[in-house]
Structure 1
Amino acid sequence: MTLQVKDIKKSFGKGTSETTVLKGINFEVNDGEFVILNGASGSGKTTLLTILGGLLSQDSGDIVYNDEPLYSVKNKPADLRLNEIGFIFQSSHLVPYLKVKAQLTTIGKEAGMSKKDAEQRAEMLLSQIGLAHRLNVFPHMLSGGEKQRVAIMRAFMNNPKIILADEPTASLDAKRATEVIEMIKSQIQNKKMIGIMITHDKRLFDYADRVIELDDGVIVNS
């Protein structure tokens, strides 16, 4: 299956204050493929990723997955983000009153997992990323890097078909960033997910199947 981005355009403001951020974006990503979006600040990367995640609507153009519109009356953005799309933000956005394991199990149970299955999967994912010893602590007891690793594993909790990540390694040191990207790529390949990530860290480009470069709202290299 393929995610097709067809002539996506987006502007903000009106009249003389209107700014066109995306000027007709076209590309495809296949199952099992890991793509990096790169470009200078203001090039439109985050706007594009936010549209792909259903958090923002495009002005025109289509996003098609499995030969159907990704978002429609049948496919509501909120439902897709719970069941089909994993979104990793630059900030962790953990729930302050939930312990680490509960950050993941809550998502699993909301999507229909049994309590036992949700707990087993949460423990497995957190162990994979080196946090087995932090299952029962609250977010304020974690370092910035630990919080981000929890957020990354939360995005994989429901076996999503599409992973979208906005600078997910920005708060991690070089060694941990490499470990996390290797894990993300492995999950995408093994589970035949579609992965799209924004990063400025050129050391991570080698892990991508392709790097798509944006400049002033258009793709200049892919």
Structure 2
Amino acid sequence: MSEEARREPDAARLAAARRALDQATQGASAATDRPSSRSAPSPDPTAEMEGYARARQIVLRQLAMGPRSRQQLADKLSNRGVEREVIDRVLDRMVQVGLVDDEAFAATLVRSKHHGTGMAPRALRHELRKKGVSEEIAERAVGTVDADDQRARAEQLVAERLPRLHGLDREVQTRRLAGVLARKGYSSGLSLSVIRDALDRAPEHVRD
């Protein structure tokens, strides 16, 4: 599937979310125009709505650049000086309309990082933690990568790198390939098993 085709569902979801958020903002604005029987002073509704609209636009711009976790968006809003109450309101609404979904975000990250760059579960967990995804959601997402998936991807990584090491001593090849897999988060046991099998099959190491 082309990159353009993969982006179409995200574009449609973003457009739908924008409409839902616009409706919610209009409803909230209408509510602030109603007369109140309270005698106590209340916050300026215009300033409040402007703050909400500004926060919403920040979030939408972030999402237009790519998927984000709720925590990433909250951090961005906080760094831009948005008040905690406004952050919660905006992100709660984003969750309601389906634009912010940590489950979907984690699943997408695991698929892209595992199949695309070859990250193993250990590295995937670390990546999700950095992005503020909860341990529970992270474990469910990483759990979709089974042992067969891991070995197959490790074998691909070794097969891609091995030709560049042709002619080197077997021990040197082993050490460099192990470094490649370690940086992707693969365990030493799995790495050495995959590397040994690959080197045993390599023409330069096959004994007559």
**Same fold per TM (> 0.5)?**
no
* Between structures 1 and 2, the one with greater strand share: 1
In the superposition, the TM-score normalised over structure 1's length comes to 0.26
Q: Which entry has the higher C-alpha Rg, 1 or 2?
A: 2
TM (norm. structure 2) is: 0.28
Flag the structure with more relative contact order, 1 or 2, with Cα contacts below 8 A and sequence separation at least 6.
1
The structure with the greater share of residues assigned to helix is 2
